[in-house]
Structure 1
């Protein structure tokens, strides 16, 4: 696999801008015709290919679950010694804010009520309708949705952080295209990802600003009008620009943590001010109903109830295509912030934690709203059917401190929008930089401004519905490619397991140099060397051991290179093996905390690392012969690993 280059791809940038503007002009110039044909295609896919999307989402979910429960879960998204960059709290907050934060604000009240008022399989406004409404809502926003985001993120993070491919969508297609991802195929894939991200966020911002306007109208009697909404877009865009300039750690991270704090506070208010006991009972029962019906609901296509085809296409299939069309953006962003986590840790964090929070949110808001309607609050039912953007604020009128809650809700909506647009600008910037960590501020600002400008134009002139339909249609080619990438991921993970099995890191003194070396080895363990002692070992024993082995490789006709970097406290041997995976053996000095019985707070270890990362054993105190033996032993294991791979 080739190493990604840190460079700006003007092909991706220019191609994305030209294609986006062309689609925008078409949507504005011929809105009715464009919408007609796009809707026809979308309806065709929903009806004729509902089985395909259902089966695909099922495969994706069970693939992610298998990754978590199998031995693949032990593999890190990064080298073996890599540690996560973000704390669990910040990580949860960022992935949730980018993935679904704004959605649950918009639909937390609306969707459960809509299913309650017009259920597919129950009598409207009955107890059975209430149960079905919550189960369907959980199904649409639960494990399946997060599995779609998760599988894309795993594929991208695995190939980027463990195999040094670019952190862009093109790397997900490496199992299919191989090194062609570095050429025109890769550029086309990344252009597709940029345009999909741009229009996905644009349509969400365009529709979501309606809820912001509704909140300010409810609080301050601000008029609901196009002019007001465009002003809101302009203000939000300015905040997005400030956030993208600040960077991921100072922008999205802080915003996401703030979002999560507000969300937990808001959720607690609804729970405490509402019927607390009944809401907690509803949460437990809703979760149980969702889990017990999960397999049946997953495969439910109403093959024996044709009149529900329209409902299926307008709800479940619509959601599946929406999550799939958003997966390049959200998956890439989640991959960006997930380096250093094991696949099992990643799946638990991405699949179960956000889904659990979503279940609480939908239960506390949805069940409260249903109970209000059952007890005669018809105003809420009428509002859900006429203007769902106002439903949340009409709902909050039934609580004490309703004005405070409405203000908090409006602030949360604005913050979630800023976070989503900021995350999208960062992702589009990465795609144009071929996954590099290099930051081009003008480019991030450009994308942030373009998101705002397109949202305002489409809101003013129409065309939002056409772009939304087009975004859904992109789910078909993306799903086909994603299924192929999943197969390639499992194949690559299987190879990594063979590599892991070939590495036996048990350090036996006899095997590491024979009985003559045991005193030196024991002395190295007892003494806990300081920095000077560790550097002396690296400069003398390690350097001469590595030099001898490197010379021997060269004498035998192999391409070997010794990289000695004393300023970085490491030495590395690299052996090229043609088209097969190269052999890397290195030693680096690592500062560690000393045990209590040793004088001095810190000491240094000489840790061995291979191509897949640190191996967690210390070689300081070993003789030159022992170190050479270890290099030869690890090379033998590498050759055995290559043999096993060729058998796959």
Structure 2
């Protein structure tokens, strides 16, 4: 095993953590400058790229490549469709949906991207933009990377590395310094992308405990929460209890579905169904406009787009090595058309339903009943809404349990993926590698939160995702090149020649 990617990545991560510990204020200032530069200079680029990825995914569905199978001709899917759909659904679930489920729609309702806040139109606009951030654009980004990873893995027996997806373009260079640089970029995009979720999770667990038993909501408590969860998921990594984590994940998904239907039943059900239908029409009508909006004449609207939409595009790009690898692993034997349709539509539909029920309930409580939901912080909005419903305390306990388990399973999975990325794509990375990445991941989260809070987490994502975005663009070109080669070889009656990876 070539350990250079592991050593270089760990070395950079350690230096980053030390800088954050020794000079947190300077790190925060430097990151703020970097964030401002990227948002101001590359906001238009992220909007164009996100739209391109959606169009590219649609092209994969309707093109001649759609019939190509991810695997050998005699390979069959490992999972039936309901199980496969459930796995795609689980990839779409996480701490982010619980953190932003109420807080994002209600925030957009109070401070919409355009127009006056706290109006009927602001409610529809706010929910529509939430759908934009968590819908088709996001899952198109995941679908493209997952498709490239799955194709290389199941057609060419390539390792599950981002660099392997660029083999059609770079050839043997992917095994040299260029390929290693690509994998290191992917490592840090993943590291900071997951760190954001862990930071949000610790903040929201703290907020839930404050609501339930009065524990103070501050950084030190959040550090204690992260330390406890770190012990849990590192213990899991050392003991190799993969079945236990799988069992825990299944319980978590079941609890999330239960919580969703409880809120739908106890909340303003008819209002939520009407909101879903209305927002669906508004989303279809405005999706292209929203996905390309940069507001060159209005600094306030431009700042809103940068702080929300551009941040999300960067976040999803940073998560592509993580989520893309998971989706690729469970999709062997599917055709490109079936794969892309499912990855685009199933999770997008689930996210739309989730935000309509949670965010719509918050909007109803404020607009109809006059409660101050939008006045709550991002991490406390969920618990404030739950407290207004019957069995509010029990629902809050359930939410805290959900967030905690998502924290453990996400961190455990992330250490596994980081281990794979830094051990040449090993399917079972050594425990010491996973432990090192687990510690560095949580340490990076603490440093980012200490130096800039939520903004610090956002900055790390936006800056680290930029180079990875260019890699994904090249990946698109390489994928089309490889697919054309396969179609030509099939037409000539010869199997495509595959280079050993």
TM-score by length of 2: 0.92
| 1:434 and 2:424 matched | yes
Q: Which of 270, 294, 304 is residue 301 of structure 1 equivalent to?
A: 294
Deviation at 1:466, TM superposition (A): 4.1
User: Hey, what does 2:279 align to over in structure 1?
Assistant: 286
Counterpart-to-counterpart distance in 2, 1:414 and 1:288: 35
**For the Cα contact (< 8 Å) 1:28–1:458, is it kept in 2?**
no
Matched ranges for 1:477-626 at <5 A? 477-503=467-493, 581=497
Deviation at 1:247, TM superposition (A): 5.5
Q: Which of 69, 72, 81 is residue 74 of structure 2 equivalent to?
A: 81
Counterpart-to-counterpart distance in 2, 1:130 and 1:193: 37
User: Hey, what does 2:404 align to over in structure 1?
Assistant: 414
User: Hey, what does 1:469 align to over in structure 2?
Assistant: 459
Deviations 1:513-532 (A, max 9, x none): xxxxxxxxxxxxxxxxxxxx
| 1:451 and 2:451 matched | no
Larger RCO, structures 1/2 (Cα 8 Å, 6+ apart) = 2
| 1:18 and 2:11 matched | yes
Counterpart-to-counterpart distance in 2, 1:365 and 1:159: 39
Counterpart-to-counterpart distance in 1, 2:18 and 2:89: 33
**For the Cα contact (< 8 Å) 1:160–1:167, is it kept in 2?**
yes
**For the Cα contact (< 8 Å) 1:27–1:467, is it kept in 2?**
no
User: Hey, what does 1:545 align to over in structure 2?
Assistant: none
User: Hey, what does 1:219 align to over in structure 2?
Assistant: 212
Q: Which of 47, 50, 56 is residue 54 of structure 1 equivalent to?
A: 47
User: Hey, what does 2:110 align to over in structure 1?
Assistant: 117
Distance 1:103 1:207, change over 3 A: closer
Counterpart-to-counterpart distance in 2, 1:500 and 1:263: 45
**For the Cα contact (< 8 Å) 1:169–1:332, is it kept in 2?**
no
| 1:202 and 2:201 matched | no
Q: Which of 392, 413, 424 is residue 414 of structure 2 equivalent to?
A: 424
Q: Which stretch has the larger CA shift, 395-404 or 86-95? A: 86-95
Counterpart-to-counterpart distance in 1, 2:85 and 2:239: 20
**For the Cα contact (< 8 Å) 2:47–2:292, is it kept in 1?**
yes
Distance 1:56 1:456, change over 3 A: closer
Deviations 1:364-389 (A, max 9, x none): 11111111101344332221xxx211
Distance 1:582 1:176, change over 3 A: closer
Rg larger in structure: 1
| 1:41 and 2:34 matched | yes
Deviations 1:71-106 (A, max 9, x none): 312222222222333454554454444455211100
Deviations 1:17-63 (A, max 9, x none): 10101122223333333322322232222222222111111111111
Q: How many residues get paired?
A: 500
**For the Cα contact (< 8 Å) 2:127–2:356, is it kept in 1?**
yes
User: Hey, what does 2:64 align to over in structure 1?
Assistant: 71
Counterpart-to-counterpart distance in 2, 1:201 and 1:151: 20
Structure 1 runs not aligned, ≥5 long: 1-7, 505-574, 584-610, 612-648
**For the Cα contact (< 8 Å) 2:17–2:443, is it kept in 1?**
no
**For the Cα contact (< 8 Å) 1:193–1:329, is it kept in 2?**
no
User: Hey, what does 2:153 align to over in structure 1?
Assistant: 160
Deviation at 1:461, TM superposition (A): 6.9
Structure 2 runs not aligned, ≥5 long: none
Deviation at 1:248, TM superposition (A): 8.8
**For the Cα contact (< 8 Å) 2:27–2:451, is it kept in 1?**
no
**For the Cα contact (< 8 Å) 1:241–1:448, is it kept in 2?**
yes
Q: Which of 364, 369, 381 is residue 371 of structure 1 equivalent to?
A: 364
Counterpart-to-counterpart distance in 2, 1:360 and 1:248: 33
Distance 1:143 1:189, change over 3 A: same
Distance 1:154 1:447, change over 3 A: same
Counterpart-to-counterpart distance in 1, 2:223 and 2:15: 22
**For the Cα contact (< 8 Å) 1:68–1:343, is it kept in 2?**
yes
User: Hey, what does 2:265 align to over in structure 1?
Assistant: 272
Matched ranges for 1:93-132 at <5 A? 93-132=86-125
Counterpart-to-counterpart distance in 2, 1:446 and 1:88: 37
**For the Cα contact (< 8 Å) 1:76–1:340, is it kept in 2?**
yes
3-state SS of paired residue (2:497): strand
Deviations 1:110-163 (A, max 9, x none): 111111111122221111111111111111111001111111111111112212
Deviation at 1:424, TM superposition (A): 0.8
User: Hey, what does 2:341 align to over in structure 1?
Assistant: 348
Deviation at 1:390, TM superposition (A): 0.8
**For the Cα contact (< 8 Å) 1:94–1:253, is it kept in 2?**
no
Counterpart-to-counterpart distance in 2, 1:364 and 1:424: 29
The structure with more helix, counted as a fraction of residues: 2
3-state SS of paired residue (1:108): helix
**For the Cα contact (< 8 Å) 2:201–2:404, is it kept in 1?**
no
Q: Which stretch has the larger CA shift, 132-141 or 293-302? A: 293-302
Distance 1:398 1:235, change over 3 A: same
Counterpart-to-counterpart distance in 2, 1:113 and 1:463: 21
